[in-house]
Amino acid sequence: GFLDRIEAVDPDIRAFITVTKQEALAQAKAVDEKLGRGEKLGMLEGIPMALKDNLCTEGIRTTCSSKILENFIPPYQATVAEKLHDSGAVLLGKLNMDEFAMGSSTENSGFFATRNPWDPERVPGGSSGGSVASVAADQAVYALGSDTGGSIRQPAAFCGVVGLKPTYGVVSRYGLIAYASSLDQIGPVTKTVRDNALVLNAIAGHDAKDSTSAVFEKPDYTQFLTEDIRGLRIGVPKEYFGQGLDPHVEGVLQEALRTYESLGAIVEECSLPHTEYAMPAYYLIATAEASSNLARYDGVRYGRRAEGAEDVIGMFCQTRAEGFGPEVKRRIMLGTYALSAGYYDAYYLKAQKVRTLIVRDFEEALAKFDVLLSPTTPTTAFRIGEKSGDPLTMYLSDVCTVPINLAGIPALSIPAGFADGLPVGMQLMGKHFAEGTLYKAAYAFE
């Protein structure tokens, strides 16, 4: 089964940090026995899946791909892990990622890089690179990832799978190791749109343990999977088709727009005028929140503690110097700077104002359209090492995904075709809580 598949292909792909073989076999056995007794199984019961390694699993090592949490065994479950467990899911293991979800290629993992199953010379994207690679390489039926600025959608696009960043608040973040709390969301990575809706059914919903979790009427997301999209209004934000977009990727997207027209949708150009400010605003807000969230790794409460320091301050410094990788350190420094007295108004407050303008852009566009459509990424998967020396170029692979997290709206990336033999992702964006509309538009296309 899947454990054999992992054994066969993971030495090349390297999607897994931990394989929970014993647990998986025990769970599978329980399901078998239930079947033997002639009992009915739930939708996800007995289905093997895996979790990004920033989701806490009780009694199972959870590293966030960081040396600082290398041997951290959480004493509690993330709400999503608990919900999937209750649905009878079989946990195969924990998946590689960029350290603390900071990155776009999974090369920032504190342990090893994951490879793109379509081309092992290329990155799978990130930060949920292990999640998408495991699904693309048939090592798991589905996986969960987290998305702060594109970390589910960008790798889903690079590996040709379906990835959803739900509306902020739809999925509980309890037990998700925090990166930037006002942006982070957990979402499903699957092969098909229907599977994605099924997994969202299992993980969405209000949770008293997460104060930012929304109170809302949870639909059955599979009810939206109908083929008829006649009259669906699709807006095409022109700013997402500008400079930096690979012409072959653009060609695939233009073809997709024609498909939508032939299915009876109404396709029109629209504008999100503040798009160019999303990236700088994101990197201020995300790093500011990260610098605060990561202050807890001091060697006292979690994970690694440096040996041999003279005093307690020395121990803090040494632990953090040894435990965090270069990208994490860079972001802590940027964030701390942006939050410093005297700089706060110029940077953090300004970024928050820009965030409001971006929210309004989406509100205005989504008042006219049911969904907005763009490429998920400006290019297909890049080569391992190609961007790892240049953080700014790396950051640009998220230009199309970052604004969505700032606005808190849902967005889905689905495979749209191929350019030069590599998968191209199409991003569908909708109103808050309109995941159903995204599934409807995606299902008709798929």
Q: What residues make contact with ligand GLN under the rule CB under 6 A?
A: 101-104, 127, 147-151, 179, 286, 398
| Shortest separation between residue 151's beta carbon and ligand GLN, angstroms | 3
Taking the complex as a whole, how short is the minimal distance between the CB of residue 212 and ligand GLN, in angstroms? 16
Q: Which is nearer to ligand GLN, 101 or 428 (CB)?
A: 101
Shortest distance in whole angstroms from residue 245 CB to ligand GLN: 18
For 306, the token pair is 């440096």
Q: Residue 291: is the preceding peptide bond cis (ω within 30°)? A: no
* Structural contact between residues 181 and 207, judged by C-beta atoms closer than 8 angstroms: no
Strand partners for 374: 427
**Judged by CB, which is closer to ligand GLN: 127, or 172?**
127
CB of 182 to ligand GLN, least distance (A): 13
d(CA 39, CA 240): 50
Q: Output the CA–CA distances (angstroms, integers) from residue 416 to 156, 269, 350, 367, 412, in the order listed.
A: 11, 19, 36, 26, 12
Within 13 Å, how many C-alpha atoms sit on residue 40's CB side?
Answer: 2
Residue 98 or 361 having the CB closest to ligand GLN: 98
Integer Cα distance of 231 and 6 in angstroms: 44
Catalytic residue among 66, 104, 128, 151: 151
151 is catalytic: yes
> Nearest distance from residue 164's CB to ligand GLN, in Å?
13
Min dist CB 291 to ligand GLN, Å, is 13
Shortest distance, position 87 Cβ to ligand GLN, whole Å:
25
407 closest CA partner among 233, 241, 216, 168 = 168
| Cβ within 8 Å of residue 424, ≥6 positions away | 157, 248, 249, 252, 253, 375, 380, 415, 416, 417, 418
**Which residue stretches of 98-214 are H helix?**
129-136, 153-159, 193-203
127: annotated active-site residue = yes
Name every residue whose Cβ is closer than 8 Å to that of residue 313 and which is 6 or more positions away in sequence: none
In terms of CB distance, is 319 or 379 closer to ligand GLN?
A: 379
CB of 353 to ligand GLN, least distance (A): 20
Instruction: Give the residue nearest to ligand GLN (CB).
Output: 151
Q: Catalytic residue among 109, 127, 291, 413, which?
A: 127
d(C-alpha 308, C-alpha 321), whole Å:
14
Q: Which is nearer to ligand GLN, 109 or 148 (CB)?
A: 148
- Picking from 154, 159, 109, 107, the residue whose alpha carbon sits closest to that of residue 133 is 159
CA–CA separation, 279 vs 78, rounded Å? Answer: 30
CA 346/CA 368 separation, integer angstroms: 34
Q: Give the residue with the Cβ less far from ligand GLN, 80 or 444.
A: 80
Q: What length is written for the chain? A: 446
In this structure, how many other beta carbons lie within 10 angstroms of the beta carbon of residue 342? 6
User: Closest CB to ligand GLN among 52 and 440?
Assistant: 52
Residue closer to ligand GLN (CB basis): 285 or 366: 285
Query: Phi and psi for 383 in degrees, rounded to 5?
Result: -75, 150
Identify the residue whose tokens are 């803090």: 316
Catalytic residues: 52, 127, 151
